[in-house]
Amino acid sequence: MAEKVLMLALSPTMERGTVLKWRKKEGDRVASGDVLCEVETDKATMEYESVNEGTLLKLLVPEGKDTKVGEPIAIVGEQGEDISGMLKEVAAGLLSAAAEDATGPGKAAPALRNAAAPPVTAGSPIADSPPMAAAPAGERFPGGVKASPLARGLAGTRGIDIRTVRGSGPDGRVVKRDVEAALIGIAVVLTSAAGESQRPAAGRPAPPVPVETPFVEVPVSGKRKVIARRLAESMYTAPHYYLKLYVQVENLLKARKALNEGRADAVSLNAFLVRLAAEALKNHPAVNSSWRGETIARFQRADIGLAVAQPDGLLTPIVRDCWNKGIAAIDAELKLLIGKALKNTLRPEEYTGATFTISNLGSYGVNEFTAIINPPGSAILAVGKAEKTPVVGEGNLVKIETRMTLTLSCDHRVIDGAEGALFLKDLKDQIEYPIGALL
């Protein structure tokens, strides 16, 4: 009997997935565990393994198309089986979901507000502009027209029927400037109908025409949507505060140089920072914690994430149990995880659940910055570049030190200011005298 193959949640935060490539084609036999397709989640590209068995009768989602978790992407059954009824059911479900996306659950579609618009007559600017083409089949756009959310909202507030607006965006998409042009057209019609007495006096300047800087609309990837949602939630639910200090890194750089002598594969500075941060976390369990509403979770190991930049966002691959790993082991694990992150092949368990996070932009020439806390952790360390700085020492003598700036972002629900300051001071001591932590 035919069965629907549903889009599964391949990561804890996945809400939609994009089918990048089908590994099976219609008519192929499918066994449980076979890779059906490659799916781009909110964080990585993953293989979708089938839990169905039979013949792949129909592919419902083309390559490059995204769909919600729980929606059908294919149909598997017996060769020659009639699936026309199931296809109608899938189509009806898609229409229902599109209507719900447009109106919200349990609401009727709102009436288009056209009371403020003048009648459209031959020769009017709106009538002379051809209506926007309907969206292609399978695309979901309220009212069947392609329009940006900004354009749709502006049209709604000004009483413009967006179906009468000519789109100048990609593939005929209606954008803000098109709605503004329609408003100007309506104003022209109204001014003309009002007669000569309504015209501005001679010499009076015409009202300014809204000007919009040319731009290209770039689709928001699933990863970028999740980054936006999670970091907005973090910023506006966790009361952030920031602590900053300078740290002398000459001893740390000497220790790294000594460790790397004779090594073919040099240990990174990030590996040192992860190990030293873990040591400081051991002494300050409040920093290695998470807000749970009615309780605070005190983590029993240090799972430290390192922010890694990607073309369409960032990931934080995590080195687990850093208290029980040396710098060389941490470095080897970091190199493996960063390589997978850059190829979008990290598994969910490799990038979710960091108890503490480090973001190092020193290699980009950034002196200092603040970072947004990466849930479920309650703190993130922002690391700036190391640079030689004149420092006034004992006897008012000026000397040159190699320094970098550390900025700790803390969730005040979990970490009080004094505790955050003690942790940062402890980390400073670890970095300035690393031999104690490395023994």
Q: Band of the pLDDT at 90, cuts 50, 70, 90? A: confident
Banded pLDDT at 221 (limits 50, 70, 90): confident
Tokens of 207: 């009202």
Name the range with the highest mean pLDDT among 35-44, 49-58, 218-227, 380-389.
380-389
Indicate the SS3 state at residue 144.
helix
Helix, strand, coil shares of the chain as percentages rounded to 5? 35, 25, 40
Residue 65: pLDDT band (50, 70, 90) is confident
Interatomic CA distance for residues 141 and 17, integer angstroms: 18
Q: Looking at the domain 3-103, which fold is it?
A: OB fold (Dihydrolipoamide Acetyltransferase, E2P) (2.40.50)
Q: Which CATH class is domain 222-438?
A: alpha beta
The CATH class of the 125-198 domain is: few secondary structures
Q: Which residues contact 240 (CB under 8 A, 6 or more apart)?
A: 372, 373, 409, 410, 411, 412
Helix (H, G, I), strand (E, B) or coil at 273: helix
Does the pLDDT value for residue 50 go beyond 90?
A: no
Q: Which residues are catalytic?
A: 412
Give the model's pLDDT for residue 401. 92
At residue 179, the pLDDT reads: 74
Q: What band does 120 get if pLDDT is binned at 50, 70 and 90?
A: very low
Domain ranges (residues) in the chain: 3-103, 125-198, 222-438
pTM of the model: 0.61
Can you read off the two tokens belonging to residue 438?
């490395």
